Amino acid sequence: MLRSVASKVAWVGRTASMVFGFALVLALIIGVASMALAAVPGDPFKLGRVNQINAISTLVGNLNDPMLRIDNNGTGTALDLHVQQGKQPLKVDSSQRVVNLNSDRLDGKDFASFNAQTVIEIGGPLPREGTYTSKGGTMILWSSGSGFRSTANSQRGGKIGMNVRVVGAPVSGIADVFTNERDSHKAFVDDFTVVEGLPAGEHTIRLEPIYDSSRCNSASEDLFSYCTTTNNSDNYEVVVVEIPD
């Protein structure tokens, strides 16, 4: 009787030891796995795992080549950045242009929002006009063209150019150049004109030759008098981009 009772007690003891032992091993495994996911400062970066740490990691060196390259030969991206809503995903300390880095949006707007249009693309002579349909905002005009000083309308070389106007707007631009000789067509230096506060609707863009009739082809004409002539050998183009309000 006593032998049977002692045998059962020993069996219960062994079973309890096995259960407690398994629980201890499981707790150790889970603990080690948790430690692997939460890195300790100074630990090596663990590939293929989540490296959670609340401290900045910095890579410092002095090379003439990139210090870090990520090469993904699959179909996915090489870099995936995630931030909280409203936070910027990237910050740099240089204003230099990055080759082949394209942007889909500017200030939250895509390219279609900027309403780019070629308004004038035609030969001379000036004046020439084109219409632009605005959504309302700030217009930026890029203008190019050409002209010359003619022997019939001037006495020497000097300034030539054209006015770039949005009809009804107080602001205008000038595309001009200096020519040393007459009867020789010269390309004007491209004009960059900003016109603010235009209402939505259709606007007329007008190119006009600059010719000072009070001075050109007279004794008062000088190198800085605008004495511009244009003909059908000259060409003109105006492109408008609008920044919406």
Give me the residue spans of the domains in the chain: 1-70, 111-244
Q: What is the pLDDT of residue 54?
A: 84
**Stretch among 89-93, 137-141, 190-194, 227-231 having the lowest mean pLDDT:** 89-93
144-177 tens-digit pLDDT: 999 999 999 999 999 999 999 999 998 899 999 9
Q: Report residue 7's pLDDT band, with 50, 70 and 90 as the boundaries.
A: very low
Q: How far apart are CA 191 and CA 170, in angstroms?
A: 17
Count Cβ atoms within 10 A of the Cβ of residue 181 and give its class: 0-12 exposed, 13-18 middle, 19 or more buried. exposed
Q: What is the DSSP letter of 168?
A: T
* pTM, entire model: 0.59
- Tell me the fold of 111-244: Jelly Rolls (2.60.120)
Cα(235)–Cα(146) distance, integer angstroms: 6
- Which two structure tokens, joined as six digits, stand for 134? 């605005």
Burial class (CB in 10 A: 0-12, 13-18, 19+), 148: buried
Is the pLDDT confidence value at 204 over 90?
yes
CA distance 192 to 174: 9
- At 78 the pLDDT is 84
Cα separation values, 98 from 92, 103, 183, Å = 11, 11, 44
Q: Residue 36 pLDDT more than 80?
A: no
Question: pLDDT band for position 96 (50/70/90)?
Answer: confident
